[in-house]
Amino acid sequence: MNTKAKVKKIISILEKEFPDARIRLNHSNPFELLVATILSAQCTDERVNIVTKELFSKYKTPRDFANLRPEELEKLIFSTGYYKSKAKHIIESSRIIENEFNGQVPSDIETLLKLPGVGRKTANVILSHSFDKPGIVVDTHVIRITNRLGLVNTKNPEKIEFQLMEIVPRDKWVVFTHLLIAHGRKFCTSRNPKCDVCPIHSFCDHYKNLV
């Protein structure tokens, strides 16, 4: 079985296992998604959603956030971790969006990547879920699982993104990330993965090396 066929089979199995795989960050517009994704670094989606529920009830627009003092925002996002750098990035990005883009989040990856705190992962989340421009989001689950499966052989997120774009069907780019995140949480955990009950272990190089 070649790699593309292997990927299609893996996706098919995981879609049956996780039929509700989707983005878990609550948001109602591209700007809220930008803020939520910045906050999600090294933090659970559940915690981010708790924080943004209060945050977005008080502050609605890039202008609102641009006018915040760092200390004000830091108090509100403290529980997400790395709160000082996150507050700085959110405020600086908000000012750029307000002043340079008329309050609208840019819809192209080159411009998004120029915003403070926005890397390819965050940019692809925004493009995929707010502008219908599919991309493959590479987070820690995707890095771990694609290496274990033998789909890639690198820990570099950008290299993984472009390698996966060559073997994952384009219409599955967005859901592929969510399927691997769900799989990583339930079966392919960082420590002590549940290989014996994993629904895709027959396609996994890591598992084959164990048996």
Q: Which residues are catalytic?
A: 121, 139
- The two tokens of residue 50 are 């708790």
What would the DSSP string read from start to end of 174-207? HHHHHHHHHHHHHTS-SSS--GGG-TTGGG-HHH
For residue 207, the one-letter residue type is Y
In whole angstroms, give the CA distance from residue 87 to residue 69: 9
Locate all alpha helices (DSSP H) within the chain, ordered by sequence.
3-17, 30-39, 45-58, 62-66, 70-77, 83-100, 109-112, 120-130, 140-149, 157-167, 173-186, 205-210
CA dihedral for 39, 45, 50, 54, sign (positive or negative): positive
Nearest by Cα to 25 from 80, 102, 73, 99: 80
Residues contacting residue 12 through CB under 8 Å, at least 6 positions apart: none
In whole angstroms, give the CA distance from residue 88 to residue 73: 9
In whole angstroms, give the CA distance from residue 72 to residue 39: 15
